[in-house]
Amino acid sequence: MAQVYELRITQLAQKELASLDKQNYIKVKDAIYALAQNPRPVRCKKLKNRDAWRIRCGNYRVIYEIHDDKVVVIVIRIAHRKEVYR
C-alpha cells in the first residue's frame, strides 16, 4: 500500500485559496488533496534555488515542500502564474 502524506497548508496559502473563484477553488483544492497520495505527480516541477515543488492548476500554481522523512507535504503558496514567483 502506498504511503499517504499528511497535508499542511500555511495561513498565506489558505487565504489565497479562499480568495479564488468557485471553479478555480475546486480545481486547486482537488489538486492539493491529490498531493497526499502522490506528492510528485507526473507534471510537477522542482523549483530552482529552492527546496520546493510546483504543480499547475490552469492559470494557478501551487508551491509546496515535501518532507519525506516526516511524511508531510506543506503547501506554501497558491497564486496566479503571473504573481506566484515574485
Over the stretch 21-73, which tens digit does the pLDDT of each residue have? 999 999 999 999 999 999 999 999 999 988 999 999 999 999 999 999 999 99
The Cα–Cα gap between 24 and 1 comes to: 31
Q: What is the pLDDT of residue 67?
A: 96
Cell of 9: 497548508
Are 60 and 80 spatial neighbours (Cβ–Cβ below 8 Å)? yes
- CATH superfamily name and code, 6-80: RelE-like (3.30.2310.20)
Strands 72-80 and 45-46: unpaired
- Torsion over CA: 24, 26, 27, 32 (sign): positive
pTM: 0.92
Instruction: Locate the domains of the chain by residue range.
Output: 6-80
The residues facing 63 across adjacent strands are: 54, 77
- Residue 84 pLDDT class (50, 70, 90 cuts): confident
